[in-house]
Chains A and B, each alone.
Chain A
Amino acid sequence: MGPTVASNRSVIEVEGIAQLIALLQRRGYQVAGPTLRDGAIACEIINKLEDLPAGWTDEQAPGHYRVKKRNDGALFGYSVGPQSWKKFLHPPELQLVELRRDGASLKILHNHSVFPHFAFLGVRPCELAAIAVQDRVFQGGRFTDPHYDGRRGQVFIVAVQCTQAGPSCFCASMGTGPRAREGFDVALTEIIDSDHHLFVAEAGTKAGAEVLKELHAVPATPVLCQQAEESIRHASVQTRQMDTAGIRDLLYENFDHPEWDNVATRCLSCANCTMVCPTCFCTTMEDVSEVTGEHAGRWRRWDSCFTQSFSYIHGGSVRTSSKSRFRQWMTHKLASWIDQFGTSGCVGCGRCITWCPVGIEITEEVHAIRGGGVNAAPISKGDNIHELA
């Protein structure tokens, strides 16, 4: 794919990002963006430019994550962190209904009929793809999840094209990055060198174009546009890959492959991979009631197919072994997802690889199932035992 350097690109400076945040806030959006939190780059509600992790980057490997200083002031000079935008659109915990018992009557109250309006700043191409995957899950079928729908419909997305890929990234082989072509209102490419620090901006929607106009963004020169495309191309060179040819049938046909036993000797069923994955959507329900018995709530919480209780039916769980749970997770991601939603459930963001405490790599597991040899011992540095919310 050759770069299409359109003439409608414009340029904003670092100060323009501050103005962008302020403009979105004035329009009533809660702006969420990357920020340094607990030794990682998290996605949080931010207030100002200074909340962005300027001058920080990350070091990633299977089972390994560290933030460290860069030698420049780049605002977006890192790969994806442990959190994703999923936490805003499909919150980790959410009260679905509230119930009141009032003498002879039962009132069932709908919760959250007013939804927050988010603007996401710094969404990576693989994350745009992940949002599109969850759109299919929660909006694309016979039923629509009003909670997801209510949040999603209002979102304003400022994407950031990737100009460097981390060692866990494999978006290029999944066809989701490093360049986003749709799914955003505005997309930025950060250019930082000895001469400048600026952002080449493109509008993906009319709303995005209006925002750029209001920021008084000036037209980008062809040279700058070229430089932006060059740096994105640079990020498409990735050492990690997933061979997705015929992957659905590959997994369906290898239910009994010995690699599942092998991976089960390493997998701790800790569920980290599902908590960090931007497309994993499974939840459980929790019922709470006050001691008075007058008031009860139903909460939806993120759940994981790695737990024993996930498949419990009266008499015992269906998937008791960690082997069967890992197999379910990976087969769902890469095979059944295609049947269910017409897309892969994996966008190649690499989070499950970085955040697996024993460094299990989904790309290597596919390779092993293909007959590329049973996967060897973990190459984890084993120091990644952060608690993930």
Chain B
Amino acid sequence: MPPTLEQPGISHAASDPMRPEPYFVASVSRETHDTFTLSVEPANGVPAAGFAPGQFSMLYVFGVGELPISISGDPEQAGRLTYTVRSVGPATQALVSRVTGDWLGVRGPFGAAWPLEAVRGKDVLIIAGGIGLAPLRPAIYHILRHRDDYVRLIVLYGARSPGDLLYKKELAAWGRSPDTQVLTTVDYGGVNWRGRVGVVTTLFRHLRMHPDKTVAFICGPEIMMRYVITELEENRGVLANDIYLSMERNMKCAVGFCGHCQYGPYFICKDGPVFCYQKLRGLLGKHEL
């Protein structure tokens, strides 16, 4: 921009991507002992901006801090935004302690989405670990709503213990939908558990797959995602181009200014968090990258 030589006047910042908008908490529900689902609505009454499955918001708690949290609600339910938050530290603890009517600052939505348009006509294999099911739930909602656009829907979900499984009722309901298979497993079952025990990759033996017609969406701890990718690529013949995963790194701004989320050449906040595995080959698993 050429500098002006007029007597400098007052300039106003245009839109500020770092300014949160006030929202209020419309509902809070408990998922597990440490995980809650919150829905928020804009304080100014204007319906919340739409989002694409896989995107996240920056949620700000007054005076405490701001965090990246994936949107876990239905993308076609207008007006509100839904998040599922696991309390692991001060800011997430403050988030899950909100009650109906409390205020939150919201920025976003940010980031790259699951490629739901591009994978029409395919079998969609969704693999989640722990809280990783939250950013995948909007994709599941989308597929179930547009059922004819996709062939099979398979959900593989692993959690630490039966008490850590999210969305239990919904998992059961999804499993009863046509052409949909939902398999869950836990690391430690306990005495009353009648379901499967073992890491999420052990669920693969219950599957018959068509590798050339399958796309996989994965979100969970990095180590789990690496095992799943090995299984998909080496044992199941799914191509790297058909594997998508959602990555996590420290994030302070979500718009590529703070530098914290860099991952090799990428900024996870704007190039991701959803990446095609083809792009991350050679990066994933590199120690201290």
Interface residues in chain A, defined as those with a beta carbon under 8 Å from any beta carbon in chain B: 27-29, 96-97, 99, 101, 105-108, 110, 112-115, 117, 137-138, 141-147, 149-150, 152-157, 185, 205-207, 210-211, 252, 255, 281-285, 287-289, 293, 296, 298, 300, 303, 305, 310-314, 318-321, 323-324, 328, 332, 335-336, 339-340
Contact = CB atoms under 8 A, between A and B. Distances in A.
Nearest to B63: A289
Contact of B253 (A29, A157, A283, A313): A283
Interface in B86-111: 88-89, 103, 105
A288 B5 contact: no
Contacts of B64: 287
Nearest to A135: B1
B7 A153 contact: no
B116 interface: no
A282 B257 CA distance: 7
Given A287-B64, A340-B267, A137 B8 contact: no
B252 interface: yes
B52 to A, nearest CB: 15
If over half of B's interface residues share one DSSP class (helix, strand or loop), that class is named, otherwise mixed; here it is loop
Given A141-B256, A207-B3, A210-B5, A319 B12 contact: no
A132 to B, nearest CB: 12
B43 interface: yes
Contacts of B195: none
Interface residues of B, number: 51
B253 A138 contact: no
Given A287-B63, A318-B249, A27 B5 contact: yes
Contact of B257 (A114, A145, A205): A145
Nearest to A157: B3
Contacts of A298: 60, 66
B14 A144 contact: yes
A282 B11 contact: no
B21 interface: yes
Contact of B262 (A138, A143, A152, A336): A336
B8 A146 contact: no
A284 B260 contact: yes
A114 B18 contact: no
A318 B288 contact: yes
A29 to B, nearest CB: 7
B18 A97 contact: yes
B255 A143 contact: yes
A149 B12 CA distance: 10
Given A106-B43, A146-B15, A293 B63 contact: yes
B8 A154 contact: yes
Nearest to A339: B265
Interface centre among A143, A155, A284, A303 (most CB of B within 10 A): A143
Contact of B13 (A112, A155, A335): A112
Nearest to B270: A142
B8 A117 contact: yes
A145 B289 CA distance: 27
A311 B270 CA distance: 17
Interface in B1-33: 1-5, 7-8, 10-22
B206 interface: no
Contacts of A29: 8
B18 A96 contact: yes
Contact of B22 (A108, A206, A284, A328): A108
12 contacts: A96-B18, A115-B11, A137-B257, A143-B255, A146-B14, A149-B13, A150-B13, A298-B60, A298-B66, A310-B260, A328-B262, A340-B267
Given A110-B19, A281-B259, A303-B258, A311 B5 contact: no
Contacts of A27: 5, 7-8
Interface in B256-289: 256-260, 262, 264-265, 267, 270, 286-289
B137 to A, nearest CB: 20
B65 interface: yes
Nearest to A286: B65
Given A282-B259, A311-B250, A314-B88, A97 B66 contact: no
Contact of A336 (B1, B21, B265): B265
Nearest to A284: B252
Contact of A97 (B4, B15, B19): B19
Which are the 6 A-B pairs with shortest beta-carbon distances? A289-B63, A282-B259, A146-B13, A324-B288, A339-B265, A117-B8
Given A108-B21, A114-B11, A153-B1, 11 more contacts: A96-B18, A105-B22, A143-B270, A283-B257, A285-B66, A287-B63, A287-B65, A313-B250, A332-B262, A336-B264, A336-B265
Given A211-B5, A283-B258, A319-B288, A106 B22 contact: yes
Contacts of B231: none
B5 A207 contact: yes
Interface in B33-70: 43, 60, 62-66
B164 interface: no
A114 B10 contact: yes
Contacts of A328: 262, 289
Given A283-B253, A314-B89, A340-B267, A152 B1 contact: yes
Given A105-B43, A296-B62, A113 B12 contact: yes
B255 A255 contact: no
Interface in B210-238: none
B99 to A, nearest CB: 14
A324 B270 CA distance: 23
A78 to B, nearest CB: 26
B192 to A, nearest CB: 29
Contacts of B22: 105-108
A281 B62 CA distance: 26
B248 interface: yes
Nearest to B252: A285
A289 B60 CA distance: 13
B63 to A, nearest CB: 3
Contacts of B18: 96-97, 145, 300
Nearest to A148: B257
